[in-house]
Every structure is written in C-alpha cells, then in structure tokens.
A = this chain, B = another copy of it.
C-alpha cells in the first residue's frame, strides 16, 4: 500500500526531498512576517473572489480574515519562524483540520492556481524562495488529497454494519 507521502509525491510530481527544501534555509528569517501576511491576504482575496463557484463555495462558511491568519501563522511556523499557529490553535494537524472540506485533485489544482498567482504578484519574495514554496505547496496539496481519500475509506465501514442491522 502506498503511504500518504508516496501518493503526494506521485500525484504532485514533487519528490519528498524537493517538497521539503523549504527546510534547507530559514525562509521566515529571509522574508519576514509581513511578507507572509501579504501572501496569504493576496491568496485568499483571489479565493474569495474566484469565478469558479464550486471552489469559492468550499470557503463559504469560513471567515476570510481568520482563514488568512490561520494560513500565514502556519506558514511562519513551518518555515522557520515562531510557532504562532500552535500557540493559538495547537498542532497543525493538516489532515484532521481539512476533514470538513472536499480536498479533491481538482480542488488541489485550483488552490495551487491561486497560490501561483499570489506568488507571481509578490515582488517581496525572491525567485528561489518562490520555487521552494511552490514545491512545498504542491506536495502538501496532494498530501491532503491523499488524506481526503482515507476519509472516504473509513466512512464505508459503519454503513455496512448499519445496513446489516437494518436487515436482521
């Protein structure tokens, strides 16, 4: 059976070592807090204005300002900065926290499309950092698609059980 990590690498086309090349340097020290705030603001402005209703609707029950803060605090924490996310919300628990959302291949690609646009319009991020970050995002997006599939597997177990009960 393929692991989450193997699926993420295969589907994203990004090998693990490349996905975590964000750890070869301290991107937080290089870029600073405001850059991450700007990036997440830029990203979510695109998401909440998306022409594609199916994608926009995934975020309809989330507060935009909270979504921005959750994201940049996680990025800061994961890319060498202070653990802002955990101090406020605990472990990132990426798969667990994405459980309410349909993280499909199509949704991953749309997320990545907006993030690529956000990076392309971030003059305060150098090209090397953009490449490292995009590899990390690409791999992580498909890691969450793999996590989402686990959810569907688990859901079938109690249904069979319940159906058996109904028929007895």
> Which residues of A pack against B, CB within 8 Å?
3-5, 8, 16-17, 19-20, 23, 82-83, 86-97, 99, 139-140, 143, 147, 150-151, 154-159, 162-163, 166-167
Contact = CB atoms under 8 A, between A and B. Distances in A.
Contacts of A150: 96, 99
Contacts of A3: 89-90
B95 A93 contact: yes
In the complex this chain forms, how many copies of it are found? 2
Instruction: Decide if the interface of chain A is mainly helix, strand, loop or mixed.
Output: helix
Given A155-B158, A159-B158, A4 B166 contact: no
Nearest to A96: B95
Nearest to A23: B83
5 contacts: A4-B90, A4-B96, A16-B90, A95-B97, A96-B147
A19 B91 CA distance: 11
Among A3, A5, A139, the one with the most B-chain Cβ atoms within 10 Å of its Cβ is A5
B16 A87 contact: yes
Contacts of A91: 92, 94-95, 140, 143
Question: Closest 5 A-B residue pairs measured CB to CB?
Answer: A95-B96, A5-B90, A159-B162, A93-B95, A155-B158
A163 B158 CA distance: 11
Given A154-B155, A159-B159, A20 B83 contact: yes
B17 A87 contact: yes
A99 to B, nearest CB: 6
